[in-house]
Amino acid sequence: MLIGSPGSGKSTVGRALAERLGVELLCTDTEVEELAGKPIGDIFVQDGEEHFRALERRVVAEGLRAWEGVIAVGGGAVLNEATRADLADHHVVYLQVEFGEAAKRVGMDVARPLLAGNPRTRLRKLLNERLPVYEGLATVTVPTTGLHPEEIVDTIVEGLGAARGPDTDRY
């Protein structure tokens, strides 16, 4: 399971990791959009954050129960207590990114409703609020700032190699 803030590289690194491992990637944000039939930004505006979080919880819970590949968990999903409890039974990779790098990667992305208004200020606030949760859930913490996705994947595979049990093939 990959966790991290907006701009940490969960989707990009998730695709590269899944390819390296010969498995599929489940991106929970993409699954929520497919379930709702609209982009996340529209879900927030039309249905509200509470509805989005309920859909997100459903997708994450189903993915953790049945998915056999890599799962990139939406940045805020870890705020849900049930999700945190579910993640405790899995290898969790926290993709750590420095604020400046995250801000560059996210830019003025209007598709990220929680960054609406002043994206840099909102991103800094999200990073500060979520950091203890990300760190607390992590089996392995992998810095991503300034690294190519393949370098990050190398670090993930190396870091989880020792933690990975013989009957576990999920990340």
pLDDT value for 5: 87
pLDDT score of 109 more than 60:
no
pLDDT value for 88: 87
pLDDT value for 127: 83
pLDDT value for 107: 61
Q: Between 120 and 62, whose confidence is greater?
A: 62
Residues in Cβ contact with 61 at an 8 Å cutoff, skipping those fewer than 6 apart: 82, 83, 86
pLDDT of 111-152, one tens digit each? 555 555 556 677 778 788 889 999 999 999 999 988 999 999
What average pLDDT does the segment 18-33 reach? 95
Contact of 40 with 134, CB cutoff 8 Å: no
The confidence band for 163, taking pLDDT boundaries of 50, 70 and 90, is: low
Residues in Cβ contact with 84 at an 8 Å cutoff, skipping those fewer than 6 apart: 78, 133, 137
The confidence band for 110, taking pLDDT boundaries of 50, 70 and 90, is: very low
**Domains plus CATH for the chain?**
2-154 (3.40.50.300)
How far is it, in rounded angstroms, from Cα 122 to Cα 71?
25
Q: Between 159 and 147, whose confidence is greater?
A: 147
